[in-house]
Structure 1
Amino acid sequence: MSTNTEDESFHPLGAEWESELTSMLDDTEYDTELGLAMAEDAQRLVAGELTEAEFQEKYHEQVLEEFGEDERPTAGAIEDLEDEGGFVDALTSLADGDQSRRDVMKKMGVGGAALGVGALADGRDRDANAASSSGGTTSGKQWGMTIDLEVCDGCLSCMKACGEENNLDEGVNWMYVMAYEDDTVGAPENPDEASVKDWPYLVRPCQHCTDAPCEKVCPTTARHTRSRDGIVLTDYDVCIGCRYCQVACPYGVNYFQWDEPDVSQDAIAEQHSEMTGDHIHDYRDRPVDSRSPRGVMSKCTFCPSRQDGYAGEEKVGTTACMDACPPGAIQFGNVNDEGSDPSVYAEYPAFGRAVENFFDTSSGVRASNGIPPLEEVESQLGTSGESTLDDAFDLFHLDYVQSTYFAANGYERIATIRAITIVADNIEISDNLNRTRSMAAAVEEARGYNDALVAAGIDFESTEVRRTLNLGEETFDDAYGTLRAIFGEDASKFNLLEEVGTSPNVTYIGNEPGPHAEQIPPEETPEDKAVTSYAAYTYERADGSEASIVDNRMDVIEEETVRGL
């Protein structure tokens, strides 16, 4: 798919995507031209080409005529979308009862998965100094992510976990993992003989933009940003399914609930009452989590049930996709905190990779990386100070198993432990010890190994030991250089469509798709490789039923319709 810089489409994802959005709006009862015009100007607004006052005044009368109300956040009358105790009282109903969820099955459209990947990275030349109007936070807490594409192996665990956590219907994917190819990278020449890492990947959740255009076009404030943590949510009770948010979103991450959900909200509430307290409503008692009811919009939510403590304190600051990612490619946390996991990982990728690949606090040391349990190290090497580096090498070199990023021998494993402790002593790492998987907990584990090695007799101040472990003078730069040599050089950082001006809160590490990048269809990759036919990846829902990852919800609906005949 070509980008709008070549086809003159207003939408960053190009003319083909704009055409699909137009057809989708044509199939609803709402004004297509109004939706397209507002979407274009909402993107101009976040780019700094239009003021809030101009945007509000331009569409106020049209929005009132079409929807019977105009509660967009650009209105001067709405100074704050929430009042800590609940929602604005004026939003208890629409202008008349007939306007509430009218004939929702007429609100049809497309799934939005197979986008031109290059368009997501090819931002327009715009003023990056646009001021935030109503969403997100520049101080205080802002939940966000760092995703390391160099580590991602396309296993789809994040998609599966998201579907399970939120009881999503087959084909409703709030996160996509896409293999792609462009002018510089692509599918391997011999796919059947390739490893999962031979494909370049892009992981695409909602970006939870600080200045979200989807929010600015919503006539009912169903789409809104929580002021206390900056996540962009949809109030299912207020959403009327007009789909204007889907048109305005530059990233293509909004989804319409076509039919009655496979799992009812009552069933979800019952399933989660004992585990999480409430998996539908957030702390304001607004229905914003789990999958949406029929006829409304949904998207990735950054798991507000977890952030609000309903799943327990150990789940605050986590998401289902992050917990499920085997190599730790997804880091979630407060991106306004320089010491948070996503912030530290983005600044020091080699350190983040080392921590994730060597220490797993949810299940102890990862045996797959060949590190013996701490108790075994203390038992085998003792605490008398008489063990040598060679003794430690023999112990750490056992059970060697290759992983995505790994230390190849006992010396590199010992060097990694020492380097982690040195780097950690020189950077800020927030105390996330309450989480089951965090850098802070992993660093504590590394220090435990370091102390055990010192007690055993390993003299890290020895020139010979430092030379053998490639630790130089054990300065920060030397230690971080050791980690880069083992876990890969620091790759570039980028944000999707950074120049559009939305200020996304997802940062990527690794290869940025070029302007002509295209998704490699799952069916064109071998069935035993990573991102394969999504439908071949099945999992069990909380109610015991089986589901599979499907690219598009309409494929499921159409198949069920045919079978029903």
Structure 2
Amino acid sequence: MSFDDEPADDEAFHPLGEAWQDELEDVLEETEYDTELGMEMAKDAMRVTEGELAEEEFHERYHDDVMEEFGEDERPIASPDDADEGGMGSMLSQLGASEESRREMLKKASAGAGFLGLGAWATIEDREPADIAAAEETTESEDTGGTQWGMTIDLEHCDGCLSCVTACNQEHQWDDGANWMYVLAYEDGSVESPEPDDFDSVRDFNYLVRPCQHCTDAPCEKVCPTTARHTRDEGGLVLTDYEVCIGCRYCQVACPYGVNYFQWDEPDVEREDLEPEGIYDERGRPVSRRAPRGVMSKCVFDPARQDGNAGEELVGTTACEQACPPNVIQFGDKNNPASDPQRYEENPSRARTVIRLNSELPSPNSVESSLEGVDNNLDAVLDAVDDLTEEQVALAKGVELTVEEYEQDAPAGDTLPEKEETVLSVVSAIEDSGLDLETQDILVRLELGEEPGDDEEFQGPSEELAQERFEAFADGPESQFELLADIGTNPNVTYLGNQPGPNAEQVEGPTSYEDVGMVDVRQDVLDDQTIGLDYS
């Protein structure tokens, strides 16, 4: 093979470690496809994202071997003149002929992220916000300026309820344990999580939420011989065409994040029970809901929603985001500064404050009706409106003082602008009653203005003091990071707080997967299904 002359390298190349890499190699051994080719391609695909190998050289290096193994090479940059017109048909026939043998892969099937050493996520150092902004500026300058769907996930406010996991399963119907979304409680020696049956607050646990990262430069795409795994132009989603995937599992080896699952047997949900508008995207390609037998699946960021198949009101949303009670998952266009994930990322303390105020403030209508005929002084207002506190008035006014005007409109489906508007409506209702919240006395009392010294003029409301109030009320995250950002995949998921340390390991959380009718580890299901079966 073309890589025989490469120097031997016993060190694990996979970011998730040697044990994970060895398991993946065993998985490939159980398929009909070339194990060595899959492992070497995955290794070099990551070298491409890291900038150690040119993409053109990568494709040229493996073109002959891919053609020999699969009958065609449909990877980007591969020459179309070399494509074998009959290659796809022969591959599909090859797949059908060996389906029964795939049952023997039960013991080797991927176990999922449940028992990963989470310290793999600590292989990069936290970056300062300025470094992140510079990286984003570089990414945006290189893209086409279109939509890039992604997430900002606030790990410090996650409560481990697993609502996102169950909502994803209800929408996509993947098999038990093939979790497209994972929530993992962990401890790493520096930070501890309490016992699952002895804790004061669910916030005492440390969590990592792990969907697919939908990388801008995805190694899994680079190794796919058929273009089944591909990055869609519209929205930058990394998807799998179920009708083109041949189940070689090379993408599973090349994924640095461990998010892929192979559908080894008939799915739990029958094909006729799936709604077609949820399966096919705007191009007519089957890329969503549970995978058919013999192909790969993973988190897809709901292309059926983004394409309007589920109704225009769901464009720009995901099931996991909508199901999250503490609103820690912010999904939207990462290329739009006005989007939910970018607003949240830009000023987490303010975003956290807006979300809390939206749920805790009395409604604008109730404030307005409660203040009819009330004296225009702050104490009278607070006495007249039930459940309205001075702190809430100060924070709501602070939100008004720090409203940012964006050149772009917020994308469809975003909720932070709506929540902010509710907060601003409460401020308007108070001021419409006759109380001027920008007088010197009230601003000083609300800690939104500095008391002037002798012979000094009052400087009016202060955005800096408003920000201080946000940080005192909701605080800001201790860190901001991307998983494995140093390997150059340009993931489109940003995390706030709770980055696992190098010794991080999963522990039981306050809500178990069993509690919500789910399974933590796919291997447990596969093991149960093999009991009493004889494939000799």
TM-score tier after normalising by the smaller chain length: 0.7 to 0.9
Query: What is the distance in 2 between the residues matched to 1:333 and 1:8?
Result: 38
Corresponding residue for 1:375?
Answer: 365
Contact 1:23 1:109 in 2 (8 A): no
Write out aligned runs for 1:59-138 (5 A): 59-77=62-80, 93-95=88-90, 97-104=92-99, 105=102, 106=104, 108-113=108-113, 114-123=115-124, 137=143
Corresponding residue for 2:240?
Answer: 234
Write out aligned runs for 1:329-348 (5 A): 329-348=328-347
Decide which moves more: 242-251 or 510-519. Answer: 510-519
Measure how far apart 1:433 and its partner are. 8.1
Equivalent residue for 1:393, pick from 378, 382, 389: 382
The reply on whether 1:428 has 2:429 as its aligned counterpart is no
The alignment partner of 2:184 has SS state of strand
The reply on whether 1:264 has 2:270 as its aligned counterpart is yes
Query: What is the distance in 2 between the residues matched to 1:160 and 1:189?
Result: 23
Change (3 A) 1:190 1:316: closer
Change (3 A) 1:490 1:123: closer
Contact 2:374 2:380 in 1 (8 A): no
The reply on whether 1:453 has 2:430 as its aligned counterpart is yes
Measure how far apart 1:324 and its partner are. 0.6
Change (3 A) 1:330 1:355: same
Number of residue pairs aligned between Structure 1 and Structure 2: 497
Change (3 A) 1:56 1:118: same
Equivalent residue for 2:468, pick from 466, 474, 481: 481
The alignment partner of 1:318 has SS state of coil
Contact 1:174 1:253 in 2 (8 A): yes
TM-score normalised by the chain length of structure 1 = 0.82
- Tell me the amino acid that sits aligned with residue 518 of structure 1: E
Change (3 A) 1:429 1:92: farther
Query: Of the two, which has the highest radius of gyration?
Result: 2
Contact 2:91 2:246 in 1 (8 A): no
Contact 1:433 1:440 in 2 (8 A): no
Query: What is the distance in 2 between the residues matched to 1:91 and 1:357?
Result: 59
Q: Please identify which structure carries the higher helix content.
A: 2
Change (3 A) 1:101 1:222: farther
Unaligned runs of 5+ in 1: 1-6, 79-87, 360-365, 399-408, 538-547
- Tell me the amino acid that sits aligned with residue 526 of structure 2: I
The reply on whether 1:215 has 2:221 as its aligned counterpart is yes
Query: What is the distance in 2 between the residues matched to 1:418 and 1:429?
Result: 23
Measure how far apart 1:564 and its partner are. 8.3
Write out aligned runs for 1:173-188 (5 A): 173-188=179-194
Query: What is the distance in 1 between the residues matched to 2:375 and 2:239?
Result: 59
Measure how far apart 1:492 and its partner are. 2.0
Corresponding residue for 1:516?
Answer: 503
Contact 1:46 1:502 in 2 (8 A): yes
Superposed CA deviations along residues 498-522 of structure 1, whole A, max 9, x for unmatched, are 00000000001112111221111x3
Query: What is the distance in 2 between the residues matched to 1:315 and 1:481?
Result: 35
Change (3 A) 1:67 1:412: same
Query: What is the distance in 1 between the residues matched to 2:346 and 2:353?
Result: 14
Change (3 A) 1:350 1:410: same
Query: What is the distance in 1 between the residues matched to 2:92 and 2:365?
Result: 67
Equivalent residue for 1:555, pick from 509, 521, 524: 524
Contact 2:280 2:286 in 1 (8 A): yes
Query: What is the distance in 2 between the residues matched to 1:490 and 1:381?
Result: 37
Query: What is the distance in 2 between the residues matched to 1:74 and 1:123?
Result: 31
Superposed CA deviations along residues 117-143 of structure 1, whole A, max 9, x for unmatched, are 11023149xxx99xx99xx94521100
Contact 1:181 1:187 in 2 (8 A): yes
TM-score normalised by the chain length of structure 2 = 0.87
- Tell me the amino acid that sits aligned with residue 109 of structure 1: A
Measure how far apart 1:430 and its partner are. 5.3
The alignment partner of 1:93 has SS state of helix
Query: What is the distance in 1 between the residues matched to 2:217 and 2:227?
Result: 15
Write out aligned runs for 1:462-473 (5 A): 462-472=439-449, 473=460
The reply on whether 1:492 has 2:479 as its aligned counterpart is yes
Corresponding residue for 1:323?
Answer: 322
Query: What is the distance in 2 between the residues matched to 1:304 and 1:293?
Result: 17
Measure how far apart 1:112 and its partner are. 2.2
- Tell me the amino acid that sits aligned with residue 388 of structure 1: N
Write out aligned runs for 1:294-305 (5 A): 294-305=293-304
Measure how far apart 1:218 and its partner are. 0.3
Change (3 A) 1:433 1:255: closer
Change (3 A) 1:258 1:536: farther
Query: What is the distance in 2 between the residues matched to 1:420 and 1:91?
Result: 62
Change (3 A) 1:102 1:495: farther
Superposed CA deviations along residues 19-66 of structure 1, whole A, max 9, x for unmatched, are 111111111111111111000000001111111121111111111111
Query: What is the distance in 2 between the residues matched to 1:74 and 1:183?
Result: 46
Query: What is the distance in 2 between the residues matched to 1:220 and 1:91?
Result: 13
The alignment partner of 2:233 has SS state of coil
Corresponding residue for 1:285?
Answer: 284
Measure how far apart 1:427 and its partner are. 4.4
Corresponding residue for 1:14?
Answer: 17
The alignment partner of 2:332 has SS state of strand
Change (3 A) 1:421 1:77: farther
Superposed CA deviations along residues 345-393 of structure 1, whole A, max 9, x for unmatched, are 101001211222232xxxxxx3xx3x222221111112x5733212333
Query: What is the distance in 2 between the residues matched to 1:16 and 1:335?
Result: 34
Contact 1:123 1:500 in 2 (8 A): no
Corresponding residue for 2:47?
Answer: 44
Change (3 A) 1:26 1:434: closer
Contact 2:374 2:381 in 1 (8 A): no
Corresponding residue for 1:313?
Answer: 312
Measure how far apart 1:249 and its partner are. 0.5
Superposed CA deviations along residues 179-204 of structure 1, whole A, max 9, x for unmatched, are 11113212237951331111110000
Provide the identity percentage. 50
The reply on whether 1:168 has 2:174 as its aligned counterpart is yes
Contact 1:68 1:94 in 2 (8 A): no
Corresponding residue for 2:200?
Answer: 194
Decide which moves more: 196-205 or 554-563. Answer: 554-563
Corresponding residue for 2:398?
Answer: 419
- Tell me the amino acid that sits aligned with residue 256 of structure 1: F
Corresponding residue for 2:128?
Answer: none
Measure how far apart 1:340 and its partner are. 0.9
Query: What is the distance in 1 between the residues matched to 2:353 and 2:199?
Result: 28
Query: What is the distance in 1 between the residues matched to 2:196 and 2:289?
Result: 40
Measure how far apart 1:311 and its partner are. 1.3
The reply on whether 1:355 has 2:342 as its aligned counterpart is no
The alignment partner of 1:150 has SS state of helix
The alignment partner of 1:220 has SS state of coil
Measure how far apart 1:560 and its partner are. 4.1
Query: What is the distance in 2 between the residues matched to 1:470 and 1:313?
Result: 42
Write out aligned runs for 1:515-554 (5 A): 515-520=502-507, 522=508, 525=509, 529-530=510-511, 532=512, 534-537=513-516, 548-554=517-523
Change (3 A) 1:102 1:469: farther
